[in-house]
Structure 1
């Protein structure tokens, strides 16, 4: 009974947020600091094209807060909570005066990552591990106790 109470207390009092945040660091030179920045998904048929949007320096949130941008003066980091365009290779870069995108970095982003699955699975294992340990201990003592009586 005490075990059930302990497990319930852990579940009810524990607070865990599991948000899968993917990031891409986009280093730039001082001469490009004021150029419009670009975030886009590479086209599956044409690796030289991408679909996305541009934004100005100083913009911190995009797509209703699903994308956050931080700038440290040497690079800007794009943090993605939700992929609105789906899994694929994403670019960050800047746009020239001629509307040409200069890619600074790229990475594969996915909406069903192992890290998110692990963040949920670890809590299940956290609860199961003590239950299995205690059950094994009780079973072992019971079996060992039966051997002493005969």
Structure 2
């Protein structure tokens, strides 16, 4: 089993610590909470007003919105808002925006659950084997 474990690629599961936006999130949160969130989200209208302060063209802001509104509900939670602000900063610094959101920019609460993906894609026997390998690995490193 340890041989199988050594060949298993655990890098497929991104760390929640690797969200680059988290460096500046405290600043973005200060702005977010001035926009009067309701149930933890700001409306598109309130978010748009803040985003327009960047003076970026509406087409660019629209692209940023599409990238940041991860759950496509027309509102932004604090992580989505922070992502939008980060993308605005990136664009203002002269960089191009991605066409799709890369994994390292996906907010932690909006990332797919890798365990759920495993359960869906693997048959139950294979899942049990891999699950046991993970437990062995974790007990081995402790």
Where is the strand percentage greater, Structure 1 or Structure 2? 1
TM-score, with normalisation over the residues of structure 1? 0.26
TM-score, with normalisation over the residues of structure 2? 0.27
Where is the helix percentage greater, Structure 1 or Structure 2? 2
Specify the structure having the higher radius of gyration (Cα): 1
Q: Which has the higher contact order (CA 8 A, sep 6+)?
A: 2
